[in-house]
Amino acid sequence: MLYMPPTARHTIKPRTAAASNQRKAESFQCRRLHFVGIGGCGMSGLARLLAQLGADCSGSDQTTSPTTAALEDHGIAISLDDGSSSCLTKPITNVDEVIISAAIPDNHPSVQAAKEQGIAVTTYAEMLGRVQMGRLGVSIAGTHGKSTTTAMLCHILLDCNLDPSFIIGATCPQTGGGSRVSHSRKEHDDILICEACEFNRSFHDHRPTIGLINNLEEDHLDIYGSLEAIVEAFRGFAELLPSSVDGGMLLIAHEDAHRNAVTPGLSCTVETFGFNPEATYQVVYDTSVQRVGLLSNGTWICQWTNQMPGAHNALNAAAAVILAHRLGADWEEAATAMSQFEGLDRRTNLLGTRPVPNGHVTVYDDYGHHPTEIEKTLRAIRSVHDPSRLICVFQPHQHSRTRFLLEHFAQSFSLADEVIVPEIYFVRDSEIERHKISARDLVDRLRDRGVKAQHLYPFDAIVEYLTTTTHAGELVVIMGAGPVDQVAHDFLKAP
């Protein structure tokens, strides 16, 4: 177990928060903004934030959902729009600007209607960058862990009374939801935390003062084509940070983030974190009790116990604590707050147990849709529960990702005793891409590696299979960025 002797504690005080971006903050008071694709986590959070900043917001999405219902409760009018011109239940009129999610194509009827009327069309990332201007923007980037680290950081700042504004790409009960506006609203002090997504290089539209790169590996190869192009895109993100004189700072993983290619020549302050003793902040993790410690130059700074399992979450938490200190939190107070973080929806989320003869089946839900996320999540869950059998229901997300990373996916399930694969979740890809690969291709690769696997669809068939084949002491993990979490909830409720 980690132990930090009182005489060895790091005694430096919280640093003064970095200066905000020098450009004056834009006023959104009384601006009429319409969001196409408003049901997503990021878009809904941005809409709520801008509404709190005084904008008159409305939005549309393909279907109604708990998210759109919550937006309506906040006074944001919602209409249906499935992408066909015949489904525009509320024409776009009397709007100053239309904001679109990354999933909305240029030929979308709402986009075309806006352009025909001379209404400006802005992407989510572009609008987010504008909101960051004049504020102390903190952008959380990386192939994995963006939502988790963002939620951890926001929780710490709230607990330490640092009054942040934020947008989180997932639901976190402890932060009061996915978005918040600072109560003080002092532009030079207003901390704005948000995720920086690398898809389509959208994070190049951010205007942060402080940045985090948690990790970096192959993904979105339909956009980038190669790992080298991805690394170059992350370097472009890092170059957005102002100089150290103006408060610019990059926190980057000492390993697994290609820092030697990303950081050379940057004018901002660069600090690293990781398990390597050569990192600016060394992370020590005791997996048996989920205890995390931080050292700097061999001196203990603070320690805490993570409630979210796994070495990857130890790194996420460490980054959050380091950034919280950079933003003004005391080390000990930040560590205490981190120990109280309970997690967020769909991130290694223990949903409950299902009673069966002689015991129960444990059920987890997780958003993991990249091979590395899958492997790390399964390892973390096994370390906590050591089930007699682990069944993973995995819904691949995007046909292009599945095709490009097929062999990596096949390797990532080695810790599962059985894998059930429904249809691939179709989003953003073309119809041509859709026909290049199927769920059965992944099942075949898994079987080639000796993993018991099968293709089952629809979701009801998976629920029926689980209810008739699971036994006491077993564990079911539902994984994927699509609607596959429905399987987990239906399995827990099934008679």
Domain boundary (69, 91, 125) is at 125
> Is residue 445 in some structural domain?
yes
- Average of per-residue pLDDT across 292-300: 94
Quick check: 452 pLDDT over 70? yes
- Average of per-residue pLDDT across 472-495: 94
Quick check: 251 pLDDT over 60? yes
The 3-state secondary structure of the chain reads CCCCCHHHECCCCCCCCCCCCCCCCCCCCCCEEEEECCCCHHHHHHHHHHHHCCCEEEEEECCCCHHHHHHHHCCCEEEECCCCHHHCCCCCCCCCEEEECCCCCCCCHHHHHHHHCCCEEEEHHHHHHHHHCCCEEEEEECCCCHHHHHHHHHHHHHHCCCCCEEECCCCCHHHCCCEECCCCCCCCCCEEEEEECCHHHHHHHCCCCEEEECCCCCCCHHHHCCHHHHHHHHHHHHCCCCCHHHCCEEEEECCCCCHHHHCCCCCCEEEEEECCCCCCEEEEEECCCCEEEEEECCEEEEEEECCCCCHHHHHHHHHHHHHHHHCCCCHHHHHHHHHCCCCCCCCCEEEEEEEECCEEEEEEEECCCCHHHHHHHHHHHHHHHCCCEEEEEECCECHHHHHHCHHHHHHHCCCCCEEEECCCECCCCCHHHHCCCCHHHHHHHHHHCCCEEEECCCHHHHHHHHHHHCCCCEEEEEECCCCCHHHHHHHHHCC
Name the pLDDT band for 20 (thresholds 50, 70, 90). low
> Is residue 12 in some structural domain?
no
Q: Are residues 46 and 155 in the same domain?
A: no
CA angle 415, 377, 138 (to 5 degrees): 160
**What is the per-residue pLDDT for 176?**
83
**What is the per-residue pLDDT for 22?**
54
* Tokens 């997996």 -> residue: 287
Which distant-in-sequence residues (6+ apart) come within 8 Å of 124 by Cβ? 42, 43, 46, 99, 100, 101, 102, 202
**What is the per-residue pLDDT for 3?**
44
Domain boundary (94, 125, 156) is at 125
- Range of 380's domain? 349-493
Quick check: 316 pLDDT over 70? yes
> Is residue 25 in some structural domain?
no
Q: Are residues 396 and 318 in the same domain?
A: no
Q: Are residues 198 and 140 in the same domain?
A: yes
More confident residue, 172 or 334: 334
Q: How many domains does the chain divide into?
A: 3
Q: Are residues 398 and 447 in the same domain?
A: yes
Domain boundary (90, 125, 160) is at 125
Quick check: 367 pLDDT over 80? yes
- Average of per-residue pLDDT across 101-113: 86
> Is residue 237 in some structural domain?
yes
**Mean of all residue pLDDT scores within the chain:** 89
Percent of the chain residues past pLDDT 90, beyond the cut: 67
> Is residue 255 in some structural domain?
yes
What CATH number has the domain bearing residue 69? 3.40.50.720
What CATH number has the domain bearing residue 325? 3.40.1190.10
CA angle 457, 463, 467 (to 5 degrees): 140
The pLDDT tens digits for 370-406 are 898 899 899 989 988 989 999 999 999 999 999 999 9
**What is the per-residue pLDDT for 319?**
98
> Is residue 1 in some structural domain?
no
Q: Are residues 160 and 78 in the same domain?
A: no
What CATH number has the domain bearing residue 435? 3.90.190.20
Q: Are residues 172 and 40 in the same domain?
A: no
**What is the per-residue pLDDT for 13?**
42
Q: How many beta carbons lie within 10 A of that of residue 122, not counting itself?
A: 17
